[in-house]
A and B are shown apart, each in its own frame.
Chain A
């Protein structure tokens, strides 16, 4: 009899624990994170994930989303492999993910979004900037200023500086290296500028002498050269260009906002590029850097960290606005956010195709390895080049 009572008590305790567990499970918000920790996307996904994790931890330390709903992360490495991405996003949905944060590129984001479309689970890319990636469905969101926004702000700046002709250097090998210069050209021509010529390169092309020779021989000479080339292509290009004695102004996309490019010295002195944000003294961004460094010992040296943090904030604001964790409700709420508060910059989804409208910073590299703030501007949605 005594044994039976004890057994009943144990069973009751177990049932209670299970019920409590179920209650806890219902009171958490599960976010699946596809993060490439190796491969070509790792340089973007790793800092973005670090910033995201840091701010999620901060949110959880305050009781969770809006102080009430703890966030549980399911993090899976995609190895920058699209097949692996497809597999892990399905696993995360199986494990109850209510929101998916995908890699910083269009391919895995779109592949994932086609899978999350079935249940309308909101899906946001870490830092994908191709404007087309939200075309897959109404549940897909960007987080970083899109290529066309960056290009439009940069074109506006160039035109305001009195520059009237441009030479575009682009690579068809990626949507980013191709799209950025093309959007710039379109916006620049709309402002009255002229595209004098275009040169194509291949990713990881070791020698840019042919392109440099073509530009040097152009008559008339362009006022500015614009490229969305990244490393190691941009260093190879700028060295070849300056080595050939071509001193034409050079402008580029946010991918030039790296310590490596700034460390190239005199050849990049005066190069102007876009950026998602700038940690001006006293800004929320500067405060984020201090907090992150104090907690981790690492100084965030690019915008992916802070943008990752902003994604945590976007989720929090969308859940708050939805008043629910229902995927469709969160998706709808996210799409209606206007002037949401961000650390890198504020953001607006309302009235966009869910690539957030955010301020774009224009910065100039200095010859001593630093960068200086030039301007901060918001692209005009009415005149944005369309993907």
Chain B
């Protein structure tokens, strides 16, 4: 079945690896991809050092410090999709704090005579100072993250720029601590190759572990679709906050590393030129992955240092080539343009380098997790709305709507375009705030719940316009939903396997959702819903765009799942044959109001329903309500 589905979708046959081995293969793939990142950094540092001696070693030190800084930057930017210019602020804090704590006391008394006693005279080793530096970074990240995490997209980027400017300004003003705009010197130059390389490797491991962790998955899910993440119970703000704290702490330590490489610096050393260079490296490599950050730094470093050799002039075959300075900047600029033109997602194409879970390398791994058995049947409860209303700019999209949809049954919700069906679902799931009315499920007040709390009350939904986490694989999409429902990792993996099998997605498990064909995307969205083991699912046009065969297949799967788990379905669709086939009861809306409800045959004969669909003056005998209507467009 799985292989058949793969062939049908045009994807290569991923071999006969059983679905039960998927979690093990994913873990092995993650480990291999981390190893590839480590190997890249190690190989570059080793090659530079072995081939070019001390000269190459210095390039390697600078490269490793940049790897640490850019990987730290990517831990936020890559997982949240927000480009940050604020990480220079963390680096500044790390460099100055570590410098203060490690500076020789005698020099400190001369250079910083008015330094507050709390910071004076520590003269620690770099290693002893590191925990304090990390804690300071975490504290600053927590303090600033509360504001940054409230924002998304360009607003958040501007806010990070503001943070950099504020911290830069404070550093200039705090002359007693930083010497203001004057050079802060006397910082022990402790960042040698061993320290820089060790830090780079450690940062890679931490960033990779965070990316694949529960919080990394949540952050990437919210990055790809905040509304869908909220519907699963994932709070995008919290995910951004966590990513900001992790990334900020790492960047603070990277700043200390940078400071101990320079030995002397000023606030300008951490301002826009540094930040732009690091963001450019991240984007060149590929912002969304750790291997992209590593590759970006490697390529930029090697390119710049290779070109630099030619800048000072040289003799080639007896011909003196004059010095031409500025070539490095030109070369890097051209490289960035070339990458943006040819590979908009960066050199790594938005994928972690290394074998995926479907690679033959992992085909022999034994099954590690068995698919979970079906969940216990849903307890009897009902989704109920009374007097629910919502207007937009004076137009009543939903007006005084009341209905009931029990678990253990499929309730159809139909109506012509603009009837208010999707708005009703959005009200029930708190995507919109209701102007008036009440909504309950099993006694719980849905309207009192936060947007991310509806899922925990047992109500899940799909979206009229597909809302998948496009950058996540099929498996990760479903796994994220199970984790968001509070399941432990192993249990969540078992649940994910069950839903992948139920919707014939096993062969596509390691494909990114954005690359799936349409029918598979539709099935994935429902599978993701079911992974939360809800008692009530609101399906908003699940068959839209499907061909008849796909629609029949979906109907069969929904029927089976519904019967097996006793879950309640509120089914919205324009394919009335599909709705009639599945529903035991149908609610009909028109112009924001419920105009009829009852058994399918009763509703079909209702003149008000006929009029709503085909217009006034036609008779019921002309109304072919059982005919699929596949030409409907967007509804409200």
Q: A-side interface residues toward B, CB under 8 Å?
A: 35, 37-39, 74-77, 79-83, 86-87, 90-91, 94, 106-107, 110-111, 114-115, 130, 132-133, 135-136, 172-175, 177-179
Contacts and interface: CB of A to CB of B under 8 A. Distances in A.
Given A91-B55, A111-B263, A114-B263, A175 B182 contact: yes
Q: Is the interface of B mostly helix, strand, loop or mixed?
A: helix
Contact of B266 (A37, A80, A107, A114): A107
Question: Which interface residue of B54, B185, B323 has the most chain A CB atoms within 10 A?
Answer: B185
A83 B62 contact: yes
A82 B269 contact: yes
B200 to A, nearest CB: 15
Contact of A172 (B180, B189, B263): B180
B258 interface: yes
Given A79-B329, A135-B110, A114 B181 contact: no
A57 B186 CA distance: 36
Interface in B321-340: 323, 325-326, 328-329
Q: Which of A39, A86, A177 has the most CB of B within 10 A?
A: A86
B99 to A, nearest CB: 12
The 6 closest A-B pairs by CB, nearest first: A37-B325, A111-B264, A110-B264, A114-B263, A110-B183, A175-B182
Given A87-B58, A111-B264, A174-B268, 9 more contacts: A38-B325, A39-B273, A107-B183, A107-B268, A135-B110, A173-B181, A174-B181, A175-B182, A178-B181
Nearest to B57: A90
Contacts of A177: 181
B326 A114 contact: no
Given A77-B311, A79-B328, A114-B185, A87 B265 contact: no
A118 to B, nearest CB: 10
B496 interface: no
Given A75-B312, A107-B264, A114 B329 contact: no
Contacts of B431: none
Contacts of B262: 82-83, 86, 111
A39 B110 CA distance: 32
Contacts of A91: 55, 58
B274 to A, nearest CB: 8
Contacts of A136: 185, 264
B396 to A, nearest CB: 49
A81 B326 CA distance: 13
B59 interface: yes
Interface residues on B, range: 35 or more
Given A75-B323, A115-B263, A172-B180, A94 B329 contact: no
Which of B59, B62, B180, B181: most chain A CB closer than 10 A? B181
Contacts of B487: none
Contacts of A130: 182-183
B110 A172 contact: no
9 contacts: A86-B262, A87-B59, A107-B265, A111-B185, A135-B111, A173-B268, A174-B181, A175-B266, A178-B181
A107 B268 CA distance: 9
A83 B268 CA distance: 12
Nearest to A174: B181
A114 B189 contact: yes
B323 A81 contact: no
Nearest to B271: A173
A87 B62 contact: yes
Contacts of B185: 110-111, 114, 135-136
B340 to A, nearest CB: 22
B422 to A, nearest CB: 48
A39 B263 CA distance: 21
A114 B111 CA distance: 14
Contact of A77 (B58, B172, B326): B326
Given A90-B58, A94-B54, A94-B55, A77 B325 contact: yes
A90 to B, nearest CB: 6
Contact of B181 (A75, A87, A175): A175
A173 B62 contact: no
B173 interface: yes
B328 A82 contact: no
Nearest to A33: B312
A308 to B, nearest CB: 16
Contacts of A178: 180-181
A91 B110 CA distance: 30
Interface in B7-40: none
> Which has the most chain A C-beta neighbours within 10 Å: B111, B264, B268?
B264
B261 interface: yes
Contacts of B512: none
B588 to A, nearest CB: 62
A174 B189 CA distance: 24
A130 B263 CA distance: 18
A280 B261 CA distance: 46
A240 B183 CA distance: 32
A83 B185 CA distance: 14
B491 interface: no
Contacts of B54: 90, 94
B214 interface: no
A286 to B, nearest CB: 29
